[in-house]
Amino acid sequence: MSPEISSPAARRQRVPRPSGLAAATAALAAAVVVATLGVAPALAASTVPGTDCPFFPPDNWFQADVSTLPVHKRSQAWMDNMSSDRNLHPDFGPSFGEIPVPYGIPITVVDEDHKRVEVKFFYASQSDRVRYPLGGDTKVEGGQYKEGDRHTVIVDRDSCTLYETWATSKKKGKWSAGSGAVWDLDSDKLRKDGWTSADAAGLPILPLLLRYEEVAEGKIDHAIRFTTDVTDKSYLWPARHHAGSVNDADFPPMGARFRLKASFKISKTLRKDTQAVLRAMKKYGLVLADNGSPWYFQGTSDTRWKNGLMDELKQIPASAFEAVDTSSLMVSKNSMTVKTPD
């Protein structure tokens, strides 16, 4: 990832989350909104484990059904430049001792009383320069602060604020990171245009991670983050930033969305959890969010991931995907909100 630069953003002041009768009333109100928007109720019920915080509002781009949207006009060109002769590769699962924790990006949940620390950012002018709830309890990708992408994804369950950092390190008691971003999980507001995040595309990581619970239950309701090695110096809504190495529209831009083709047959001989992931790839697709190994897609770091699931997902050919044109979903270029069905 190679972000660019701009200026700080202040931490949002949040109203405490409702509880008891207030929570029930809020839930009923949310159900009414969902019914009005025409969004499936299951989306509104999806919350960050260990919290009552949403993975952003249910009308966001990550949870949009793209199964019937038109194929993007550059789909074939992009596929031709994305190592489409390869298979998918789950970038999560058992580590077999290579690293101290399972592969994947972990989620840390804290409360409003958690100590906040100052973080020195390499790309400071495009990072949200507030105090982050980092500490000894923070789970970091790879389980250490020495090498690799070292993402952290932290949710404050009281304010429903999401904090994410990339290339996170702690040396001599001081914290640093390549970049950092803060989101209000109750809002569809995007970062400033041209700003990176903890991801090259300037998007949040949290809502694009496959999680063990949703896969086991067969209830995946969002797109999935993935990477490729060579990208164009451009980005598509709702992405806000690029990290491209070429000026060539025949290479995919950040924010490009790909779906498993409707014609791809999901065999009933596959594991149930594998079938659930593939159905999600048909309905919600994959989102190009960072540079990395081609067709690596991300999930959470979790000891419960099954080797059988990993093995079956590695057999899915990249050539079974196509790029989708999601431009018709845009309500505002500064929001993740999507247009509701007619």
Q: pLDDT tens digits, residue range 48-73?
A: 999 999 999 999 999 999 999 999 99
Would you say residue 7 lies in a domain? Answer: no
- What is the distance in angstroms between the CA of the first residue and the CA of the last residue of the chain? 39
Would you say residue 71 lies in a domain? Answer: yes
Percent of the chain having pLDDT more than 90? 83
Would you say residue 260 lies in a domain? Answer: yes
130-141 burial, b at 16+ Cβ within 10 Å, e below that, comes to: bebbbeeebbbb
pLDDT tens sequence across 305-323: 999 999 999 999 999 999 9
Quote the pLDDT of residue 98.
Answer: 86
Quote the pLDDT of residue 242.
Answer: 97
d(CA 336, CA 342) in angstroms, rounded, equals 19
Would you say residue 334 lies in a domain? Answer: no
Number of domains forming the structure of the chain: 1
Would you say residue 3 lies in a domain? Answer: no
Could you tell me the CA-to-CA distances from 150 to 179, 190, 267, 300 in Å, in that order? Answer: 11, 23, 36, 13
Alpha helices in 69-158 (DSSP H): 75-80
What is the residue range of 295's domain? Answer: 50-329
Would you say residue 187 lies in a domain? Answer: yes
Q: How many CA atoms lie within 13 A of 280 on its CB side?
A: 28
Lowest model confidence (mean pLDDT) among 113-117, 129-133, 146-150, 229-233: 146-150
Cβ neighbours around 155 below 10 Å, total: 25
Would you say residue 28 lies in a domain? Answer: no
pLDDT tens sequence across 264-320: 999 999 999 999 999 999 999 999 999 999 999 999 999 999 999 999 999 999 999
pLDDT tens sequence across 113-124: 999 999 999 999
Find out whether 125 and 5 touch, Cβ atoms under 8 Å: yes
Find out whether 263 and 284 touch, Cβ atoms under 8 Å: no
pLDDT tens sequence across 251-262: 999 999 999 999
The pair of three-digit structure tokens given for residue 52, joined into one six-digit string: 């009552």
d(CA 262, CA 63) in angstroms, rounded, equals 18
d(CA 147, CA 319) in angstroms, rounded, equals 32
Burial of 233 (0-12, 13-18, 19+ CB in 10 A): middle
| Mean pLDDT score, 224-229 | 98
- The pTM (predicted TM-score) of the whole model is 0.87
The pair of three-digit structure tokens given for residue 122, joined into one six-digit string: 């390499």
301-314 burial, b at 16+ Cβ within 10 Å, e below that, comes to: bbeebbeebbebbe
Cβ neighbours around 291 below 10 Å, total: 20
Report whether pLDDT(4) > 60: no
Mean confidence (pLDDT) of the chain: 89
Quote the pLDDT of residue 16.
Answer: 41
Lowest model confidence (mean pLDDT) among 45-59, 200-214, 231-245, 314-328: 45-59
Would you say residue 213 lies in a domain? Answer: yes
Q: Following DSSP, what letter does each residue of 26-84 receive, concatenated? A: HHHHHHHHHHHHT--HHHHH-B-TTSS-BSS-TTBGGG---TTSPBPTTHHHHHHTTTT
* Number of H-type helices and E-type strands within the chain: 6, 13
The pair of three-digit structure tokens given for residue 240, joined into one six-digit string: 């806000």
Cβ neighbours around 73 below 10 Å, total: 9
